[in-house]
Copies of this chain bind each other. A is one copy, B any other.
Amino acid sequence: MMQGVVQIPDELKSLEDIIASGFGAVEQIFAKQLVSDLEPVDQMCEHVERYRGKMLRPMLVLLCGAAANPKLGKLLSNGKTDHVLSKSHIVCGAVCEMVHMATLVHDDVLDEAEIRRRGKTINAMKGNETSVILGDYLIASSYELCSSLGSPIPSRIVGKASAVMCTGELLQLHNRNNFDLDEPTYFEILKRKTAALIGAACELGALGTLGFDQQSHPTVQALLGFGTNLGIAFQIQDDVLDLTGTEDSVGKSVGKDLEKGKLTYPLIHHLVNTPSKSRSIELITAISHSDQSGLPELIELVNQTESIAATQKMALSFVQGAKSNLALIPDNPGRPMLELIADAVIARSH
């Protein structure tokens, strides 16, 4: 789980087993939904399945599904592990991952990225046109799968989260090369483009346990809040890795944010706190025009304002916010497991 990032203590092993077997079921449904009677479509879907990495969103659906169950402790101690998760958790997990993968495929078009999860991107292999349509195919398939659940409510949650994600991307594009981007707008972008789907994954997990008509249930609201905070922390960490990571450690092209004129928290913090703002803007502008030669000097300046440390502190505060949301859910082994995930989200180097 989390590719070995999380150390699971013994008392949570049986819950870990449930999640691991849920993962297997998610993968099966995922692959089955994307099967096409057309050979070229199948080939591309197979390639794109390699994008699946941390499986953060399905994991959160499954784990929140378990954590929302007031009887989880009893079920685990009675060995009734197959009563914890249902078909709807598995379907929602696959749906969230499919929506996420669609955004990865389209993001790679936007970023003109060549490398994703150590493999060539679809756009680098087959061109932007195929990538656009393949992303559309993933989105449409996720909705088709979601509507198999018998209630329109999960479709509404997923449709809405997807629409909000798009507005976040549009807000980010609108602020490209805006080197006066302020903190509130940055967080608005993060909340929309990343936290909306991660929040929806947690909400769907809880609803799968408590019933799809329970959207106002305190546990559902608490887990939605948990996912939203966690999603913001996750994206802040992504933004740090894009600046400080290497392609080798992160597994995808790095330094893309600045190259595309996207200002992220470390730079926003830096520009507010540096005595040499005009030099920093000069370097950022050059990098956004594909001249990477100034990157080492910029990183040196960013270190002088201690902006990476400040960013990590900010990410940590969202993780703490996420954990405090958990005070309102049932006191069972799901809670410490979600806390471990929350810590792992900002400890990761990829």
Interface residues of A (CB under 8 A from B): 36, 38, 40-41, 44, 102, 106, 109-110, 128-130, 132-137, 139-153, 155-156, 158-160, 162-163, 165-167, 169-171, 173-174
- One complex includes copies of this chain to the number of 2
Q: What would 24 A/B residue contacts be, using CB atoms closer than 8 Å? A: A38-B171, A44-B170, A106-B132, A106-B133, A109-B128, A109-B129, A110-B129, A130-B173, A132-B132, A132-B135, A134-B170, A136-B162, A136-B169, A137-B166, A139-B139, A140-B160, A141-B163, A144-B162, A147-B152, A147-B156, A147-B159, A148-B152, A151-B152, A155-B155
Contact B170 A41 (CB under 8 A): yes
How many Å lie between the Cα of A155 and that of B40 in the bound state?
26
Q: How far apart sit A159 and B33, CA to CA, in the bound complex (Å)?
A: 12
Does A133 lie within 8 Å of B169, measured CB to CB?
A: yes
In the bound complex, what is the Cα–Cα distance between A135 and B129 (angstroms)? 13
Alpha-carbon separation in the docked complex, A343 to B276 (Å):
70
A152 to B147, CA, bound (A): 5
For the complex formed, measure the closest distance between the CB of A150 and the CB atoms of chain B, giving whole angstroms.
Answer: 6
* 10 tightest A-B CB contacts, nearest first: A144-B159, A140-B162, A143-B159, A137-B166, A147-B155, A140-B163, A147-B156, A40-B174, A147-B152, A110-B129
Question: Chain B residues with Cβ under 8 A from A140's Cβ?
Answer: 139, 159-160, 162-163, 165-166
**Residues of chain B contacted by A110 (CB below 8 angstroms):** 129, 132-133
Residues of B within 8 A of A173 (CB): 129-130, 133
